[in-house]
Structure 1
Amino acid sequence: MKWYADNPTRFGLQVIFDLVALGWAALWIWIAVTAHDAVLDLRAPGDGLVNAGSGIRDAFTGAADKARGVPLVGDDLSGALGGGTRAGETLIGAGNAQISVVQDTAFWLQVALIALPLAFLLITWLPLRLRFALRAGAARRLQVAGFSDLLALRALSSLPARQLARFSDDPAEAWRRGDDEVIAALARRELSALGLR
């Protein structure tokens, strides 16, 4: 495969478009990471709930343990304080659920913000680059191997009719006759159309 043309103008345009494609990908990756971090900032209330729930649970658990030591009513008092422990655990569960939702949202937003723009590149830019690389590579191999007649045949099948009309006689007939001058001219035009020397 040949990724870039020999023609300086076409080479420059290819480099510019490749840099634009890389810049596009880098921009969306940066946007995705920034959005991910911004969404993760929304987990602060969940962290607050977990911290508050832990504090309440620990306070009520400690009070319930100490209440067991009170004569006569210790077990009843400890049981009543156990409700506070369960309330703290409920707050911890709610906080963890909120944190989980925020983290999942941040992850999938980041994936979408990277995948969609990269899919756009894979659908638009990459096929054009691959098509050029394959065609230019095949043409270069034909040129190096000395198959000018095959390059000329490619020119006959791919060049616009207005370019073929510039020949003094019918280029297809001249190709069939094996006219070396017309074959060389057609081969040069095929290479030139691809931006090759």
Structure 2
Amino acid sequence: MKWYADRPGRLTRQLIADLLAVAWVAIWIWVATTAHDWVLELRAPGDGLVNAGGDIRDVFTNAASKARDVPLVGDDLSGALGNGTKAGETLIGVGNTQIGVVQDTAFWLATALVVVPVLFLLITWLPVRLRYALKAANTAKLRDKPDLLALRALTSLTPKQLAKFDGDPAVAWRTGDLDVIEELAKRQLAALGVRA
């Protein structure tokens, strides 16, 4: 395959288009990572719940273990304080759930912000580049077959381009006019940016 044209004008346009495609991907990666970081800031309340739940659990666990030493009511008091430990664990669970939701949202948002624009680019830009690469490579293989290139030029050049020839280029091609055939072949190669 021939990815780039030989002629400077078309080569410049192709390079600019490719650089714009790379910039497009880079911009969307930057947008995605920025959005990911912003969404992750929303996990702060979940972190707070986990920390508060851990503190509550630790306080009630220590109080319950010390309450066992109280004569007569120690076991009952320890059991009642144990419920506070469960409340702390519940807060930790709720905080972890919120953190998980925020992290999942950040991940999927960032993924969507990269995948959708890149898919759009692949659907629009890549087929054009592949089509050119295949067409230019196949046309370059015909450099030593000017008759075929001339025939292709007769079918692909615009009427305005064909009108610039002296006389009818189709008749000249049919009669084997080498000058016209060579000029048509050159124009066909030039149309794809391929050197003659």
Shared fold per TM-score greater than 0.5: yes
- C-alpha distance in structure 2 between counterparts of 1:163 and 1:186, whole Å: 10
Shift of 1:177: 3.7
- C-alpha distance in structure 1 between counterparts of 2:69 and 2:176, whole Å: 111
Identity %: 68
Which residue matches 1:83? 83
Shift of 1:50: 0.3
Deviations 1:111-156 (A, max 9, x none): 111112212211222222112111111111111xx12222122212
Shift of 1:70: 2.3
- C-alpha distance in structure 1 between counterparts of 2:14 and 2:100, whole Å: 45
Shift of 1:188: 0.6
1:6-21 map, 5 Å: 6-21=6-21
1:35-184 map, 5 Å: 35-143=35-143, 146-184=144-182
- C-alpha distance in structure 2 between counterparts of 1:151 and 1:65, whole Å: 94
TM-score by length of 1: 0.92
Amino acid at match of 2:64: A
TM-score by length of 2: 0.92
Amino acid at match of 2:165: F
CA RMSD of aligned residues (A): 1.5
- Which region of structure 1 is more displaced relative to structure 2, 94-103 or 179-188? 179-188
Q: Unmatched 5+ residue regions in structure 1? A: none
- Which region of structure 1 is more displaced relative to structure 2, 178-187 or 40-49? 178-187
- Which region of structure 1 is more displaced relative to structure 2, 164-173 or 110-119? 164-173
- C-alpha distance in structure 1 between counterparts of 2:127 and 2:93, whole Å: 49
- C-alpha distance in structure 2 between counterparts of 1:4 and 1:38, whole Å: 40
Amino acid at match of 1:185: E
